[in-house]
Structure 1
Amino acid sequence: MTPSGRVAAAIALLVELEAQCFAPDARRRPADAVASDFFRARRFIGGGDRRAVSELGWGVVRQRLRLDWHIARIGLVPTPRLLVIAYLLLVERRPRQEAEALFDDTHFGPAALDAVERRAAAALAGRALVDPAMPEGPRLNLPDWVLPGFATRFGARLAEEAAALEGEAPLDLRANLLKTDLAAAAVALAAEGIEAQATPFSPWGLRLPSRRPVTGAKAYRDGLVEVQDEGSQLIALLADARPGMRVADYCAGAAGKTLAMAATMGNRGKITACDTSAVRLEGAGKRLRRAGVDNAERHLLEPGDRWAKRRGGTFDRVLVDAPCTGTGTWRRNPDARLRTRIEDLQELTAVQHDILRRAAELVRPGGRLIYATCSLLPQENEEQMARFLALDARFAPVPFDRLWPALRPGVPAPCEGPWLALSPAAQGTDGFFCAVLERAS
């Protein structure tokens, strides 16, 4: 593809993303699913061109809040074409003449700029992406609705944490203890030219210095390693699922934490992966088989289902990896900061409380309830815990600073305080929260 052809394809991708993800009446599909469909329908776009088109399209998505501000400041409404022009001028810092030349009106290139677009290019050329006149939201590249919660969580470190959320997330792997150990997994990866270093906190974690397509590697196909952020691994560590226990992963999804807990159980005992999505549980089954897990079963939670009532008070560990806003994963999912709204937060906090209440009934006396999110917002984390504990006197916190030395003796704790609270700037992981509660005997 020519450079102008790549620009045209990026504009077409942004048109699809706007229609399906970001417009007020959009279905708000995840952008990676929309992009996958887009490129599947255009198989003529080769690998190098696909990367270039993706980088331009995703670059616009990552900087959309700032680009919108610049475009609004010159009195225009953002369109995919204007967003690309603004990105070329403000982010890539291209000279105006060079950026305008990419709109060359050729067969495969985008139409030439019209008079309004040319005036916009003239107004934007030479400006700084981060303008001193910007309000806090676009300056930090954060939607306004998260600012109060982020300010409560981070205080004076807000700007540092916001900048970290713009960075590229690392690729972390978890060595599958059912088939290997950390050192052997690293050797197996190295034999395929994939160098990895042990993560600082997880006893099973390996971090790649740059993103690599590892799913085609033999070590992955053979189930020696799984893709899992170190923060997610630490939640499984805090669950402290041991051989012989009965464990429920109540919001299992694709079963990442089920896999990790099955490994700490040594395939002994019983773990039940629950979810409301049959599709997710089907995907979980494939991962469980590849990992060699044979102490796990899957259960589809449906309306009117009496499974939980029949098994009330019988589980040693119940993990609630609750549905949340996912603010801690915005490095990986930059579209989520555009798709997610204050109404979603309000709905999710109600859902989280309801799930906690139902999951708590599964915990046996003396057992533990583990609550986790990939959110950085206090409303979904500390405030959710305070609300639950105020209403259910059977449970009491097991402080993180007491748990960590027993689980990782000699390893400095990743954070201080009663809960596990991780963030990209502070620990280099995705943003996670985890609380461990114990039911009175």
Structure 2
Amino acid sequence: MHVTHLIIGAGPTGLGAGWRLHELGARDFLLLEREAHAGGLSASFTDDAGFTWDLGGHVVFSHYDYFDRLLDSLLGEDQLWHERIARVRMADGWVPYPFQNNIRHLPPDLAWRCVEGLLPGRRPEGRPESFQDWMLAVFGQGVADLFMLPYNFKVWATPAARMSWQWIGERVSVVDLERVVKNIVLQQNDVSWGPNNKFRFPLHGGTGEIYRRLARRIEDRIRYQTPVVALDATTRTVRTADGQQITYDHLLSTAPLDLLVRQWLAEAPPALVEAATLLEHNGVVVSGIGTDSPRVDPTCWMYFPEANCPFYRLTNFHNYSPNNVPAPGCRGLMCETSFSAHKPEQLEAVTAAAEQGLRNVRMLDPDAGVRTRWEAVLPYGYPVPTLGRDRALAAIQPWLEAREIYSRGRFGGWRYEVANMDHSLMQGVEWADRMLQSTPEKTYTIPEC
């Protein structure tokens, strides 16, 4: 079988590409999806108890008019809008997010540690070499020790000294001493920072409903339960697990880039394989704890830098849509715990530890009953922006593109800074525009070393 445009993966990037090809009148394309469902890491599931869960704490916000219009056409009236309420758990209390702007909520001794680290002459100067250096230079020792360093290790499962800092952009709120002191003296909260201050969410079906509806528009071009096992760049042939061989003119891969290079690619040059070893990622266990123990708590999500629970983030998923739980008064508590070689976890015990952690941080009362426990283990959670990442991408991506192989998406592109849901879908859209209209891509660019 031969197709002009072959797409590996029916997550946001692959579906965005397929839909845009369809919009532009192309029909000779095919999506191969290893799972029995669309959505990739943005899929959602409803368990036997009637609780709906996402594969992590997704919120839908956008940098693109195209993405906004597409969502409106997919969801119509079946969507809800929320204003973000986020908090950080510390010292047996809550600090509004962003932490560094709201340290007045800390005990006085901890608040002073934060301010002291921000005073003139207390922060390192000069160009930082790593994410850890950047945190100390920007936030000072106090904020770094209390929040930034422990929280980021819990998220990335990677020491900050191994990570670059150039990816940060709008991902991390920086700090201003005058602003911090003003908030303390005037006793005011400062919570409006960030692109996700307002977000939307599907009324039914979790985040995955977006991609179920989009997939239905091009259903005849998707083959589910069809994992790819090999790729020959010379003959432009993909082989699937069931023995199919599909040739193509142009290939979009949204599979993990390290997997593509190190396992699928026939006769990959040694330099390419060596470059792929520089690509690091963590894994994430998503633990859903459903309870019918009611509590009034408008918080959307919470961050946990301390060691009294294994998860780095907890989402009040019942607050996103009343249809995420089976009945009024139920709560869906969705916990995320990372793991890696730098931060090993006993995967079979993570959800039990998360449940105990909920009790430790008083999000679950000691006598509260649990109605359901749901779990998803994601071997690929976040692509980690390590010090060697850009060097790897600069070696791998041009080689692939010279052979009409385009690797995009959260793990296909391996660039966390453009791996939001909107970024990921638009990477597929812009790839389709490039293929059919020779329009340069804007969202995904290949770093130069």
Structure 2-normalised TM-score? Answer: 0.26
Q: Which has the higher helix share?
A: 1
Higher-Rg structure is 1
Bigger relative contact order, structure 1 or 2 (CA pairs below 8 A, ≥6 apart): 2
Normalising by the residue count of structure 1, what TM-score does the alignment of the two structures yield?
0.26
Structure with greater strand percent: 2
